[in-house]
Amino acid sequence: MQKQRGSTKAVTSATQSVRSSMTSTPFTRALEHLGADQLVEYYRQMMLIRRFEEKCQEMYTRSKIGGFLHLYVGEEATGVGAISNLQPQDHVFTHYRDHGHAIARGLDINPLMAELFGKDTGCSRGMGGSMHFADVTKNFWGGYAIVGSHLLLADGVALQCKMQKTNGVVMVFFGDGATNGGEFYEALNFAQLWKLPVVFVCENNLFAMGTPLEVHSSVTEIYRKANAFDMKSMRIDGNDLLGVREQVGEAVEHARSGKGPVLVEAMTYRFRGHSAQDTQKYRSKEDVEKHRSADPLEAYRKLLIDEEICPASRLDAIDVQIDVEVDASVEFADNSPVPGNEWLTDAGIYAAPLETLTVDPTLV
């Protein structure tokens, strides 16, 4: 059940009309306002994230991908449902488990896989890797490896949206562990003080790396942490894609209308370890299997079939096409060149300073 704190009076007439029927559900409302094709598209997005991440694990095992690798398997409904509410002028910041958010925002998986391979055709020219996906054309400002630091950056962009009246909203994702750091409280305080258009989405997967929620936080209902700032907040089922879309949609509407930020706590669970090398000794196989039995992707697939939105044969065909696309992204990455040294002097943040300096060519 959704729980809320802060102001709940500002519910627009549009939202009221959507919920006019006492017998309606997130599914029936989504079907009415989005149509069957869009509901199937959400399935495609979730499955694309799942198959992309599974391929990443395979490529990591084959040493095609180096460094850290944090997979989004099991949390797809949160990312797809939340980001589906955003418009082109909106912005996304996220943590280092960023692959799913990038795909949900519409980034091409070819440069994403190339980035993981450290290739020049990657979305960050092969120099960011798994934790630093970014695409300026999508206002996707990247994954950040320093826990909680990006929340303050999100505030900065939200302030720009407010001052320049762009009608933009900033959505920032982070884990439950980030809510124990000072950056989290500073970001919430500043956003509420200035009534910034920010939607803070805490993906509570019950573990901060390998530390259980009840061990690392004295307040286990993360949404309540917004009470200190009199900020609107809610706890939602992060595994219910259409529920996520609807409830986060209300948060986005609240922020866009000038009423200030919202903290959303999405309850979810990652099926893989914290990273690709995680031995997962902090949780049992039985616990993982228990959550896998409620896989949000399989639940959504069943919903589409049971409600006769899409037959299983069509969904199977979508799965096959996705496998083709993911395999093609690996081929693209494999055949892409590695970055050269030109970026040191010809482009990027190092170009301008070097224009005024005499540089020993042997050092470049």
Per DSSP, the residues of 235-282 read EEETT-HHHHHHHHHHHHHHHHTTS--EEEEEE---SS-SSTT---TT
Residue 265 region by backbone torsions, left for phi larger than 0, else alpha for psi between -120 and 50, else beta: beta
Q: How confident is residue 348, by pLDDT bands cut at 50, 70 and 90? A: low
Please give the pLDDT value at position 218. Answer: 92
Q: What angle do CA 133, 117, 70 make, to 5 degrees?
A: 55
What is the architecture, at CATH level 2, of domain 3-10+30-277+297-363?
Answer: 3-Layer(aba) Sandwich (3.40)
| Amino acid letter, 67 | G
Please give the pLDDT value at position 11. Answer: 37
Give yes or no for residue 52 having a pLDDT over 90. Answer: yes
C-alpha–C-alpha distance, residues 314 and 165, integer Å: 43
Please give the pLDDT value at position 356. Answer: 53
Please give the pLDDT value at position 350. Answer: 63
C-alpha–C-alpha distance, residues 312 and 15, integer Å: 32
Alpha carbon 186 to its chain centroid, in Å, reads 22
Please give the pLDDT value at position 276. Answer: 83
Which percentage of the chain shows pLDDT scores above 70? 88
More confident residue, 52 or 22: 52
Q: What angle do CA 21, 10, 138 make, to 5 degrees?
A: 90
Q: How confident is residue 18, by pLDDT bands cut at 50, 70 and 90? A: very low
Give yes or no for residue 346 having a pLDDT over 90. Answer: no
Average pLDDT over residues 233-253: 98
Please give the pLDDT value at position 352. Answer: 61
What is the residue whose two structure tokens read 């950040």?
144
Give yes or no for residue 258 having a pLDDT over 50. Answer: yes
Asked whether 172 and 154 are in contact (CB, 8 A), the reply is: yes
Per DSSP, the residues of 75-124 read -HHHHHHHHTT--TT-EEEEES--HHHHHHTT--HHHHHHHHTT-TTSTT
Which residues are paired to 135 by β-bridges? 140
Give yes or no for residue 270 having a pLDDT over 50. Answer: yes
Please give the pLDDT value at position 351. Answer: 63
C-alpha–C-alpha distance, residues 207 and 283, integer Å: 10
Q: Please provide the size of the chain in residues.
A: 364
Q: How confident is residue 347, by pLDDT bands cut at 50, 70 and 90? A: low
Asked whether 183 and 215 are in contact (CB, 8 A), the reply is: no
How far is the CA of 262 from the CAs of 6, 144, 201, 221, 363, in angstroms?
9, 21, 8, 15, 49
- What is the domain partition of the chain in residue ranges? 3-10+30-277+297-363
Alpha carbon 168 to its chain centroid, in Å, reads 18
The closest of 275, 335, 343 to 66, measured between CA atoms, is 275
More confident residue, 348 or 248: 248
Please give the pLDDT value at position 361. Answer: 58
| Amino acid letter, 325 | E
For the question of whether the overall pTM of this predicted structure is more than 0.75, the answer is yes
Average pLDDT over residues 299-326: 98
What would the pLDDT profile of 66-110 be if each residue is shown by its tens digit? 989 999 999 999 999 999 999 999 999 999 999 999 999 999 999
Which residues have CB under 8 Å from 73's CB, separation 6+? 50, 53, 54, 270, 271, 272
What's the whole-number average pLDDT of the chain?
Answer: 90
Q: How confident is residue 14, by pLDDT bands cut at 50, 70 and 90? A: very low
Please give the pLDDT value at position 273. Answer: 81
What would the pLDDT profile of 128-177 be if each residue is shown by its tens digit? 999 999 999 999 998 999 999 999 999 999 999 999 999 999 999 999 99
The closest of 211, 130, 133 to 178, measured between CA atoms, is 211
